[in-house]
Amino acid sequence: MTAVAAASIRPMQSRPIRTVAVIMAMRAEARPLLDEIRANERELPETAGPLPFQWYDARVGGLNAVVAVNGADRRHGVDGIGTQAAALNAYVTMLHRRPDLVISAGTAGGWADHGTQIGDVFVSRDRVVFHDRRIQLPGFDQYGVGSYPVVDASHLARSLRLKQGIVTTGNSLDESHDDRQAIAASGASVKDMEAASIAWVAELLGVPMLAIKAITDLVDHPTATAEQFVANLDHASRRLCDTLVQVLEFCEDRTIADLAHDRSSGAK
């Protein structure tokens, strides 16, 4: 068993990226990518216990890609979306597969007010936060928001012409009045149900993390979010797949630091 002490995994700014773990919640979001990179399913280690997650391996150029899908919830049959499954999947995947970079990939909501359109793909910028952990006690209020750092991927975003934004996570698909206020305060422009919990685990284990999110719905559109989501899931998952392949190709022969700066421009 590859037991790894958290402290033994160091931030890997200058190490070449060789293995990337892509954590995804829904099977429908993952399917186009798994087909495109011809990924092979691989069993989880027995020591991990009877977990519902599905692991897939592929080579993309010289890079090892590990796609870890939350899989179906045993009790309810639907995909294990939300923060619990994401954290557990992220933990077991990082512990056993030792990626140099972990990506929270999936669909998300955006805002027309920010110039966002259905199918836009975002790269996380700066930090990921929670918008529904409301704890009005000193210290715990900020703990609730989380604010976990993400890798500076501004060079990656520019090169692939992707938008960048702060990603905010909560356990509801809709947006309550209180959520709206928290999101306005954080300045987030991408709303999902997994990224912040994956970022928390990544920070604990010292693994560089970023999020890639394709927009399925506009939170400030009059049509209900769930209705938009169902109508746009296929289109957004396709865009997500195309982008993820480009991101994996971009990572080959690069370090984490190279995602922020163009080496050839002489910038450091």
Residue 81 within binding range of ligand SAH, rule CB under 6 A: yes
How far is residue 156 from each of residues 147, 185, 246, measured CA to CA in Å? 22, 27, 10
Which residue stretch of 9-17, 129-137, 146-154, 190-198 sits at the interface with ligand SAH (rule: CB under 6 A)?
A: 190-198
- What is the C-alpha separation between 2 and 18, in angstroms, rounded? 18
- Out of 192, 194, 217, 258, which one is annotated catalytic? 217
Residue 25 within binding range of ligand SAH, rule CB under 6 A: yes
Residue 107 within binding range of ligand SAH, rule CB under 6 A: yes
Residue 71 within binding range of ligand SAH, rule CB under 6 A: no
| CB nearer ligand SAH, residue 107 or residue 124 | 107
- What is the C-alpha separation between 225 and 108, in angstroms, rounded? 10
Residue 230 within binding range of ligand SAH, rule CB under 6 A: yes
Q: How far is the CB of 25 from ligand SAH (least distance, A)?
A: 4
Q: Is 234 a catalytic residue?
A: no
CB 210 within 8 A of CB 98: no
Element (H, E) at 236: helix 225-251
Q: For residue 191, what are its two tokens? A: 């709303």
Among 100, 132, 179, 192, interactor with ligand SAH by CB under 6 A = 192
End-to-end, the C-alpha distance of the chain in Å comes to: 38
Among 32, 80, 106, 165, interactor with ligand SAH by CB under 6 A = 106
Residue 98 burial by CB count (10 A; 0-12/13-18/19+): exposed, middle or buried?
Answer: middle
Among 229, 246, 254, 257, interactor with ligand SAH by CB under 6 A = 229
Which residue stretch of 5-13, 101-109, 140-148, 204-212 sits at the interface with ligand SAH (rule: CB under 6 A)?
A: 101-109
**Secondary-structure breakdown of the chain: helix, strand, coil percentages, each rounded to the nearest 5:** 35, 25, 35
Q: Is 217 a catalytic residue?
A: yes
CB 131 within 8 A of CB 183: yes
CB 118 within 8 A of CB 234: no
Residue 249 three-state SS = helix
Among 83, 189, 197, 225, interactor with ligand SAH by CB under 6 A = 225
Q: Which residues does the annotation mark as catalytic?
A: 29, 217
Interface residue list for ligand SAH (CB under 6 A): 25-26, 81, 106-109, 173, 191-194, 216-217, 219, 225-226, 229-230
